[in-house]
Amino acid sequence: MKAVIILLFFSVMNQDSSSYIFDFKNEKNFSNWYVVDDGVMGGLSQGTFTSTDSGNALYSGIVRTENNGGFSSVRFGFETKDVSDYRFVKLKVKGDGKSYQFRIKDDRSQRYSYITTFTTSGAWETINLPLAVFYPSFRGYQVNKPNFSGEKIEEIAILIGNKTRESFSLEIEKIYLD
């Protein structure tokens, strides 16, 4: 009986760790995460991506609409991850009550992303994003292509761009697949 429990424990641990895209409590190297603001197009928005005292990531800043601005994003590229056995991306976050986009690229070199939107409650929560609802978009316009295939991921991003001047704050504990 004891051997079965130990085997089940290690099976669950292996399964969970393979489904992680990023676990901020256990991975302290954020060097592959980077902020892209609307400054690439002349805007004045400013996002930052830092570590909290509790070991989570904090994506925060201000979105400004001057100079045709209006967005901030944080991105993470990684080795190709097979996601064909999963149906959801899950985020454990504490937001500010604002809406964000979660973006996926199945090929880092493609110009468009697959996106869906989520709204935070202001409390710690797990956001469930079905992979099947991610639709292709480029610069705010839907692209005439099928929704996300659900086969592989090479990059993720979180973007805020609600067409209003606002501060934002999103604390992230982990991002994983289920």
Q: Which residue type sits at 81?
A: K
**Residue 162: Cβ-neighbour burial (10 angstroms; 0-12, 13-18, 19+):** middle
Q: What burial letters (b/e) apply to 64-84, b meaning 16+ CB within 10 Å?
A: bbeeebbbbbbbbeeeebebe
Q: Which two tokens stand for residue 33?
A: 């995460």
Note the pLDDT of residue 105. Answer: 98
Please provide the DSSP assignment of 130-158 as one string: EGGG-EEEETTEE-SSPSP-SSEEEEEEE
How do residues 101-120 score in pLDDT, each as one tens digit? 999 999 999 999 999 999 99
In this structure, how many other beta carbons lie within 10 angstroms of the beta carbon of residue 157? 19
Q: Which stretch of 64-68, 82-86, 116-120, 174-178 has the lowest confidence by average pLDDT?
A: 64-68
How do residues 3-31 score in pLDDT, each as one tens digit? 433 333 333 343 454 599 999 999 988 88
Note the pLDDT of residue 11. Answer: 37
C-alpha to C-alpha distance for 71 and 65, rounded to whole angstroms: 8
Q: Which of 106, 112, 104 is CA-nearest to residue 75?
A: 104
The residues, any chain, with a CB within 8 Å of residue 167's CB and separated by 6 or more, are 60, 61, 62, 63
Note the pLDDT of residue 42. Answer: 87
How do residues 135-170 score in pLDDT, each as one tens digit? 999 988 999 999 999 999 999 999 999 889 999 999
Note the pLDDT of residue 31. Answer: 86
How do residues 34-66 score in pLDDT, each as one tens digit? 999 999 888 999 999 999 999 999 999 999 999
Q: Which of 82, 88, 140 is CA-nearest to residue 115?
A: 140
CATH fit for domain 2-177, picks 2.40.50.140, 3.30.70.141, 2.60.120.430, 4.10.95.10: 2.60.120.430
Question: pLDDT band for position 82 (50/70/90)?
Answer: very high
